Structures are given as structure tokens and as C-alpha cells.
Amino acid sequence: MLKPKVSIIGCGNVGIRYAYSLMINGCAREITLVDYFKDKAEGEAIDLSHGAPFTPAVTVNAGDYSNIKGSDLVVITAGKKQKPGQTRIDLLKDNVNLFKSVIPEIMKYAPDAILLIASNPVDVLTYAAYKISGKPANKVIGSGTLLDSARFRYEIAKHCNIDARSVHGYILGEHGDSEFPVWSKATVGGVNIENHCMLCDKKQNCDHKAILNEIFSNVKNSAYKIIEKKGETSYGIGLALTRITEAILLNENSVLPVSVLVNNLYNINDVYLSLPAVVNRDGIRQVQQIEFNETEQKSFVNSATVLKDLLKEIGI
């Protein structure tokens, strides 16, 4: 067994895009693929392994739950798809029931592993994983709004003609329709976005408030647009999962907007949603106590209410 070891539960598009990205990144030495369809997992492992001469040293295997033993990180991308006529709540209940079978298997063979959840709706399913596993909250993380925040940075960068790595900003709350942009903390090269707009050479011909609204609209609707055009989203989330994995395995203490258990923030308690958090080898070291403006605070409370109502409706 090589270290660090990452096991991926679910070999659909998201799981395999993640495995491919992780292999190229090089922060894991062993990757184990587990899927209900064993031949699919084995075929993917063989295909990925043939790229070994072109990547950092890594071994890719396929197996069942017993093969995840010794994992440092277990990433769950598995989830059921919505059937014709099935309601969102019924689908959610199906996926919670799936987790009730998956999580005990993980705890049996890799009880010390950090759990990273990517299955949607990610905040509800991360909370379910936390409850079912009985693990400390810092060891159960959801991918949350990391990808949404990357889309946010990209859209700002595209408009401003700036390298996206020089743009910083967060989409927080639910990974879903109630998510919200934290404009008060968005910066371009250290300058608040609204101040940057005033300095921009486009300012004479740019209604910056309308542009900012359009940027968030593009972010919020991007997944729907991608699904409409190609049927699924997978590359972006695969890269986002690799970024979280890197922060964990390399003990980076990186601040990332991931889904975490929230307690005692704006009177919100016992719900998973996205906030900036310090991520390292222990999972979540701490959740940043970000200060929202009045509009952002209302959006945060609304997002938490939406998720709590969902949890109540499905009986968690």
C-alpha cells in the first residue's frame, strides 16, 4: 500500500474526471476506484494506469470496499439520477438511502479516512454522511461552492481582462439556487471589485452594477447551461475536488469555500453549507468568521433556512 491513498466511490463522469485530474496532479500515490458496476471501475483503472509513464508516480486500482483499507481520504461521487416523474425530494431520499449503505462500508474498512462528498445535493448529503458516519464534523467535508467560486472568479476575470488567479471572491451558502455572491469581499489584485470598476478603462461605457448582476447570473445558471448543452458537468468539479485533496494531503492550511458544519453564526446551527474554511491534513482546521454586509447576511440566513427545510422534509 502506497501513501497517500485516495479512494473514490463512484466511477461516473465526475469520479473519473477527478481520478484523471488527481493522477496528473501527483499528490496521491495510490488511487482506488469503487463502483457498483465493477467492470466499469476495472476498465477505468486500466485505462488510467496506461498513462503512468506520463504522470507523477501513482498506482490506480479497482476493487470493492475492502480495498479502500488504509485510505487517507475517501471521496464520494456516487449518486442516483432522477427518474421520469420523480420529485426532487424523492430523489434526495433515494440518495440518502444510498448513503446509508455506502457510509457504513467506508467506516468498516477506512474508519480513519477523511470523507469528501461531491454527490448532489452536496450540502444535504454531506450532513447525512456526518450523521450516518458519526465522525467529527471536521473530518466530513462537502465540495460545496468551491466550483461556484471558481466560476465567479472566471466571470469577473473575463470581464476585467485580468488573470483569474488575480481575482478573489466567494460564492457562499447552498451549492444550489439559494447561493449568493459576497461582493463586499470580492477583489481584483487586492482592490475591491466596485472600486476596481471605478478605475477600469471601460467605466465610461459600463453599467458596472448591471454587469455585476450579470456575472452572478452567469455563475448561478452555468451548470444548467452546461447540462443543457452536453448533458452533465464534470471537468470543473473534478479539478475542484483535486484542489481540496491537495490542501488535505499536503497539509496546506488553504482557505477554501467548502461545505462545513455551521454552528453559532448569525444564529444558524446544525446545518452544512459553504463558508471559507482552513483545510489541512486534519480536514477542517477552522471555519473563518467572515463578516457579511446586511444583504449578504440575509442571503446566508435564507440559504441555511432552505437547507434546514430540506433536511426536515426528508427526516434527517
Let me know: does 188 contact 155? Beta carbons within 8 Å: no
* Rounded-to-integer distance, Cα 31 and Cα 58, Å: 7
Tell me whether residue 175 is one of the annotated catalytic residues.
yes
Among candidate residues 159, 175, 196, 208, the one labeled active-site is: 175
CA separation, residue 43 to residues 13, 60, 78 (Å):
14, 11, 17
CA separation, residue 257 to residues 125, 139, 144, 156 (Å):
17, 16, 7, 17
Strands (E), 146-268: 167-168, 171-172, 180-181, 187-188, 191-192, 254-262
Let me know: does 17 contact 238? Beta carbons within 8 Å: yes
Which residues fall within 8 angstroms of residue 28, CB to CB, at 6 or more apart? 4, 5, 6, 22, 58, 245, 249
Helix (H) or strand (E) holding 195: helix 193-199
How far the first Cα of the chain sits from its last, in Å, is 37
Give the cell for residue 53: 509513464
Give the cell for residue 203: 467605466
Let me know: does 24 contact 50? Beta carbons within 8 Å: no
Residue whose C-alpha is closest to residue 132's, from 171, 159, 99, 158: 99
CA separation, residue 127 to residues 46, 119, 170, 290 (Å):
34, 12, 21, 21
* Rounded-to-integer distance, Cα 77 and Cα 299, Å: 28
Kindly list the catalytic residues. 175
